[in-house]
Amino acid sequence: MVEVTAPLEVDANNQLLVATDDIGDNQLWNHRGSVEITYDDLRQITPPEDTATYTSIGHSDFAETLYKHADRLMAPKGYTLDGQKYIVSKEGDRMFFIHSYLNGDSGLQLALAGRNSYDKSMRAALAVAAKVTVCDNLAMITEDGVSIFRKHSGNARSYLNDQIILGMVKATDSWDDMRSDRDDMVGIEMDQRRGLELMGWAKGSTRSDKSASRRLLATPKEWNATQTYWEDKNDQMHDYEGGNRTLWSWYNSFTVDMKDLKPELQLAQHASIHSVAQGELVERAAKGVVQEDEDTFGGTVNRLLDRED
């Protein structure tokens, strides 16, 4: 699928040195008849020949393409492969997998998930997202990511190769933006009182949203838990870059509970709280709290305002 520019690193037994089978918060579900295998096992499953109407995509070729492009495009931005899992069914005709990446600088996670078939039962697919759930019943659920689908016909191999590159570039650029937002939030000091005031604004400004998932926390119990986390009366709950009295730690007072939500709800609620935090950044910048030179100041405000539009 991709031109080989350098050999992949292997151990003394010629097995690929990539990662463990720990894929973090991502989920790979399998039912009866599916088997978990290693990448080296995957290489033993021979793909079918191409026909006039069918273009074969090898299971191991698919995975190896991800390794190589990730090494070229994601590694320079701080991402390393932290875990991987593969399952196959129908005697190897169907494959499902997850590659979990971790950014050592920011702690942000990114996952590549895919599926492929030799029996024409489904399109080849790849998802690049913060969190993914893949099931051998063909379901793929992503959180804030990019999804790619392609029928096994025509230029399927080159198309998938090109889309993998674009997907990785887009996803890592988005995470670069998020890392920039994190750095901005870390630089904004926020005392307990202002944090509670902003929680009140967040609750009031989202409670009437027509989409229930964008109303942030749904019950008084959830709001109380978030408020307690922020107040941190025992000075031991928070452990964030910049300390426990910044806009970043305030933001995490919400997201720490969002981790237990279903992926389809997490995205909407993260977008809501992100919008509130960005509004605070813009307001602080407008008041001159963030001290930057004129050019940098204007660029920061314009960037944040553009994201809200």
* 254-299: pLDDT as tens digits: 877 666 655 445 556 766 777 788 888 888 877 764 455 445 545 5
Q: H or E element: which one contains 169?
A: helix 156-186
Q: What is the pLDDT of residue 4?
A: 32
Buried b (16+ CB within 10 A) or exposed e, 40-62: eebbebeeeeeeeeebbbbbbbb
Q: How many other CB atoms are there within 10 angstroms of residue 91's CB atom?
A: 11
Q: What is the pLDDT of residue 182?
A: 78
Q: Compute the mean pLDDT over every residue in the chain, rounded to the nearest whole number.
A: 76
Q: Which residue's structure tokens are 């196959």?
A: 88
- Estimate to the nearest angstrom the gap between the alpha carbon of 216 and the chain centroid: 20
**pLDDT for 302 beyond 80:** no
Q: What is the pLDDT of residue 296?
A: 52
**pLDDT for 51 beyond 90:** yes
Question: How large is the average pLDDT for residues 15-36?
Answer: 70
Q: What is the pLDDT of residue 15?
A: 44
Q: Is 199 exposed, middle or buried (0-12, 13-18, 19+ CB in 10 A)?
A: buried
Q: What is the pLDDT of residue 240?
A: 66
Which is more confident, 133 or 297?
133
pLDDT classification of 79: cutoffs 50, 70, 90: confident
pTM higher than the cut 0.75: no
What letter does residue 13 receive in the DSSP assignment?
T
How far is it, in rounded angstroms, from Cα 128 to Cα 110?
Answer: 7
Question: How large is the average pLDDT for residues 144-169?
Answer: 85
Map residue 105 onto helix, strand or coil: coil
**pLDDT for 47 beyond 90:** yes
**pLDDT for 70 beyond 60:** yes
Q: How far is CA 160 from CA 106, 116, 153, 165, 193, in A?
A: 29, 11, 11, 9, 51
**CB-facing half-sphere around the CA of 256: CA atoms within 13 A:** 18
Q: Which residue's structure tokens are 């709280």?
A: 273
Question: How large is the average pLDDT for residues 126-137?
Answer: 79
Percent of the chain at pLDDT above 90? 17
